[in-house]
A and B are shown apart, each in its own frame.
Chain A
Amino acid sequence: MGLDFEATPEEIKIFLEEAKEQIQTLEDGIMSLEKEHGEIDPESLQSIFRAAHTLKGSSAALGHVNMAKLTHEMETILDHLRKKSIDVTPELVELLLDGIDGLRIFNDEIYQGKESGIDVNDLVLDLQNFVATALDITPDTPKKAPFHPDQTDLKGPLFDASLETAALEIATSLNQNVFEIEVRLNTENTLPSVRAYQVMMFLEDIGQLIASEPTLQDLEKDRIEDTLKVLLVTKTDKKAVEDGIASIPDCKKVTLTAIKKANKTEKKEKIISAKPSTDLARKGVKAEKRTRSSETVISPTIRVDVDVLDDLMNLVGELVIDRTRINSDIQKLHERKEAEEALEKLGQTGNHIGRVTEKLQELIMKARLLPLETLFRKFPRMVRDLALKAEKEVQLVMVGEDTEIDRSVIEQISDPLIHLLRNAIDHGIEKPEERARLNKNSTGTVCLSAEPEENYIVIRIKDDGKGIDPAKIAASAVKKGLITPQKVQSLSVKEATELVFMPGFSTAEEVTQVSGRGVGMDIVKKNLENLNGSIQVFTEVGKGTEFRIELPLTLAIMRTLLFQSTDNLYAIPLSAVAETNRISKAEIKYVNNRKAINLRGKVLPLIHIEELFNLPVPQISGDFYFVIVVKNAKGQVGIIVEKLLGEEEVVVKTLSKLLGETRGISGAAILGQGEVAFILDVPSLLAYVTDSRLAGACCN
Chain B
Amino acid sequence: MLEDQKKTLGPKDHQVVVFRLAAEEFGTSIDSIKEIRKLSDLSITKVPKTKEYIAGVVNLRGKIIPVIDLRMRFGMEKSVSETSRIIVFEVEDDVCSAIVDEVNEVIKIPNENIETATSMVSCINKDYIEGIAKIDDRLVVLVNLQLIALKNQANQNAI
Contact = CB atoms under 8 A, between A and B. Distances in A.
B59 interface: yes
A292 B63 CA distance: 37
B94 A656 contact: yes
Interface of B: 43, 45-51, 54, 57-59, 62-66, 91, 94-96, 149-150, 152-154, 156, 159
Given A503-B159, A656-B96, A668-B64, 8 more contacts: A568-B45, A614-B48, A655-B57, A655-B66, A656-B94, A657-B153, A670-B64, A678-B48
A659 B48 contact: no
Contact of A658 (B49, B59, B96): B96
A473 B159 CA distance: 22
Contacts of B50: 659-662
B57 A676 contact: yes
For the side of the interface on A, what is the size category? 20 to 34
A653 B159 CA distance: 24
B1 to A, nearest CB: 14
B159 A659 contact: no
B59 A662 contact: no
Contact of B152 (A503, A614, A658, A678): A658
A659 B154 contact: yes
Contact of A662 (B49, B58, B91, B96): B49
A678 B45 CA distance: 10
B54 A659 contact: yes
Contact of A665 (B47, B63, B96): B47
A676 B49 contact: no
A678 B58 CA distance: 12
Contact of B48 (A613, A653, A675, A676): A613
A661 B50 CA distance: 7
A668 B47 CA distance: 10
A615 B50 CA distance: 11
Contacts of B153: 657-658, 660
Interface of A: 503, 518, 523, 568-569, 613-615, 653, 655-665, 668, 670, 674-676, 678
Contacts of A523: 159
A655 B51 CA distance: 15
Given A523-B159, A665-B47, A655 B64 contact: yes
- Candidate in A655, A657, A662 with the most chain B CB atoms within 10 angstroms: A657
Given A668-B64, A670-B62, A656 B48 contact: no
Nearest to A569: B45
A560 to B, nearest CB: 16
A275 to B, nearest CB: 45
Closest 10 CB pairs of A and B: A613-B48, A676-B45, A659-B66, A660-B152, A653-B64, A661-B154, A657-B154, A658-B96, A658-B66, A658-B149
22 contacts: A518-B159, A523-B159, A568-B48, A614-B49, A655-B64, A655-B66, A656-B95, A658-B96, A659-B57, A660-B50, A660-B152, A661-B49, A662-B47, A665-B48, A665-B49, A668-B57, A668-B64, A670-B64, A674-B59, A675-B43, A675-B59, A676-B58
A660 B159 CA distance: 16
Contacts of A656: 64-66, 94-96
- Candidate in B47, B48, B50, B59 with the most chain A CB atoms within 10 angstroms: B48
Nearest to A668: B64
Nearest to B68: A658
B94 A658 contact: yes
Nearest to A664: B49
A616 to B, nearest CB: 12
A665 B49 CA distance: 9
Contacts of A518: 159
A384 to B, nearest CB: 31
A675 B57 CA distance: 10
B56 to A, nearest CB: 8
Contact of B94 (A503, A653, A657): A657
Nearest to B45: A676
Contacts of A613: 48-49
Nearest to A653: B64
A206 B96 CA distance: 65
A479 to B, nearest CB: 21
B64 A658 contact: no
A614 B62 CA distance: 29
Contacts of B152: 658-660
A663 B156 CA distance: 11
A656 B96 CA distance: 8
Nearest to B65: A656
Nearest to A671: B59
B64 to A, nearest CB: 5
Contact of A678 (B47, B63, B91, B154): B47
B57 A660 contact: no
Nearest to A523: B159
Contact of B154 (A568, A660, A670): A660
Contacts of A668: 57, 64
Given A660-B154, A662-B154, A670-B59, A675 B49 contact: no
A658 B149 CA distance: 6
Contacts of A678: 47-48
